[in-house]
A and B are shown apart, each in its own frame.
Chain A
Amino acid sequence: MHRRVIALLPVLGLMSANAEESQSIWDPLQVHGFASQAVVRTSDNHFFGNSPETSFDFTEIGINASLLINPQILLSGQLLARRAGNMYDGTPNLDYGLADFTLASSIEHRWGLRAGRIKNPLGIYNETRDVPFTHPGIFLPQVVYFDKIRNLALSLDGLMFYGETYSNLGTLSLTVGGGRSVLDDNVEWTFLRNDYDGEFQPNGIVGLARLWYSAPGEQLKFGLSGTTLSLQFDPGQHSPLSAGTTDIFYWIASIQYDAEDWTLTAEYAREPLEWRDYGPLLSNLRTTVEGYYLQGTYRIRPNVELLLRYEEGFANRNDRDGVEFSLLRGPPPFTYFSKIWTAGLRWDINRQWMVRAEYQRHHGTFVLSFRENPDPSQLSEYWNLFAVQAAFRF
């Protein structure tokens, strides 16, 4: 797979040359894409592959097309191939595929409807979380944007209404959506800590809402976004679990301030969870996952950026040191929280190429995937990560 990825890069380069050319005439069809490869090394614990031995298993390749049928109707779709350690094997899938209808627009407001597979506008980064250029750092703050369970709130198959009002006071926007969530095996690994015989199915529809404010000039932005969903476990013949359900409400409060040379970002996420009716092996349980981070980026030059971030996340906000959960469910207390310092450097070499490097100091292992670290006795409480990434776009 790794070789295949590298073999693709020149092909993408050719396509980019074509894309530049096709932009020389007005064209309602646009094609864009990106590819990235990271190298990850950790002192202990597996993160995006066999990282203690140096992992090359973090690759992202996406290609999208959009067609403006008329000023009110946009069709768009993106294929994404993502390899992330044991969590994703790089099989391409439809990241989004939608029709966007602008129902009304003026210099004071805009209303519209999107239908199809739509990325959930949760927090500041979720919609473009797999596009390296759109967020600081190689890894998003894991306590809010869990990669171990990335698909849970990634996108939905359904409808979203959006409305925005523009004035001298700024922009206020509201998005409301509903549909079916797009799940995968990682959800099961995270919520059941195993890959049991059986499958998670969406239980009813997913609801989503986002309320966002941007000051004129967009220097200050803040908002609330959240989604509520329920999962039903459909047990196989050999499953030790019965047909339980897990109810999830995940919300994020976000704020960002942009100055010319620096940007400050803070987000706070909370996720009340409830497991019901899984049988004796997994007793009924309620918890509230919590995570927050403060992140500063400073641009030494327009194309060179420094990153500093601190984040904390807890499996249960009423048991932040993990002691109670450890007694109840087994693994040591430090597996129920993460406290992470991150420092990074990003260099945008030109319009198409970017490289960056990142160091992280971890206390706790809450953000790690069980799928990648199935034996908790092998986990280390204090660990370091170093990663570099090269990314290309067109």
Chain B
Amino acid sequence: MDGYYSRLNNGCPWHRSLDNAAAPTCSATNRSSGRLKKVFICLTVTLWPWMLTAQELIVNKATPNTQISQNQARLCFTMRLPLWENNVPVKVFVLPDNHPLHRKFAKNILGLFPYQLRQVWDRQIFSGTGQAPIMVATEQEMVERVASTPGSVGYVESGSSYPQVRTLEVR
């Protein structure tokens, strides 16, 4: 449940300002009907833009999966899942740590803070127990690399803009 709420809160860039604007209206009454109204307004302003701007996980089209659990997505991006179910090696593409899309994807889809991903990768890189994901510079490059690399996984702002890759639902 925590993860769900944090996803709601973090998924929407306008959420903070809208929520603040809505707050005085909601707190004008302390009766229970007022509380319900507050919940309704807050949910609406939160959910609506979130649905429009969700980041999406993408894979190479040859990957048979149509959905992926959040756990499996975390394993992929923390470099702990070497193979897909069809035995194709997992190849992970990421944007730089400070890229806005990377930050949003890590938080909203993986449920990890970007600095935690960096810590996991650094521990593997500098203790010899794993390798770093492949870093690309832009979302466009991400799409091109994922489209051309079997077994690859990455992310974009909106998968429907890129027919050359498959969007996986993270559940």
Contacts and interface: CB of A to CB of B under 8 A. Distances in A.
Contact of A217 (B82, B112, B131, B135): B112
A114 interface: yes
Interface string A118-130: 1101000001100
Nearest to A105: B82
Interface of A: 23, 26, 30, 32, 34, 62, 64, 66, 68, 70-72, 74, 76-78, 96-98, 100, 102, 105, 107, 110, 114, 118-119, 121, 127-128, 131, 133-134, 164, 166-168, 216-218, 258, 260, 299, 302-303, 351
Contact of A258 (B96, B116, B122): B116
23 contacts: A23-B134, A30-B125, A32-B132, A64-B125, A68-B131, A71-B82, A71-B89, A71-B90, A78-B126, A110-B80, A118-B128, A133-B122, A164-B80, A166-B80, A216-B3, A216-B111, A217-B112, A218-B116, A258-B113, A302-B97, A302-B98, A302-B114, A303-B98
A32 B98 contact: no
A134 B3 contact: no
Interface string B121-149: 01101111111101100000000000001
Given A72-B82, A127-B123, A134-B122, A168 B116 contact: no
B22 interface: no
B55 to A, nearest CB: 16
Interface in B64-100: 69-72, 74-75, 80-83, 89-91, 96-98
Contacts of B71: 107, 166-168, 216
A114 B116 contact: no
Given A134-B119, A258-B116, 16 more contacts: A64-B125, A66-B128, A66-B131, A70-B89, A72-B82, A74-B129, A78-B126, A97-B128, A107-B72, A121-B127, A127-B123, A131-B122, A131-B126, A164-B80, A166-B75, A302-B114
A218 B112 contact: yes
B162 interface: no
Interface of B: 3, 69-72, 74-75, 80-83, 89-91, 96-98, 103, 107, 111-116, 119-120, 122-123, 125-132, 134-135, 149
A71 B114 CA distance: 25
Contacts of B123: 127-128, 134
A128 B127 contact: yes
A30 B129 contact: no
A216 B74 CA distance: 9
B158 to A, nearest CB: 24
A362 B82 CA distance: 47
A302 B98 CA distance: 8
Given A71-B83, A107-B71, A127-B127, A299 B115 contact: yes
Contacts of A216: 3, 70-71, 74, 111
B111 A217 contact: yes
Contacts of A34: 126
B96 A351 contact: yes
Contacts of B69: 107
Nearest to B78: A218
B111 A32 contact: no
A100 B80 contact: no
B132 A30 contact: yes
A349 to B, nearest CB: 11
A32 B3 CA distance: 34
A89 B85 CA distance: 49
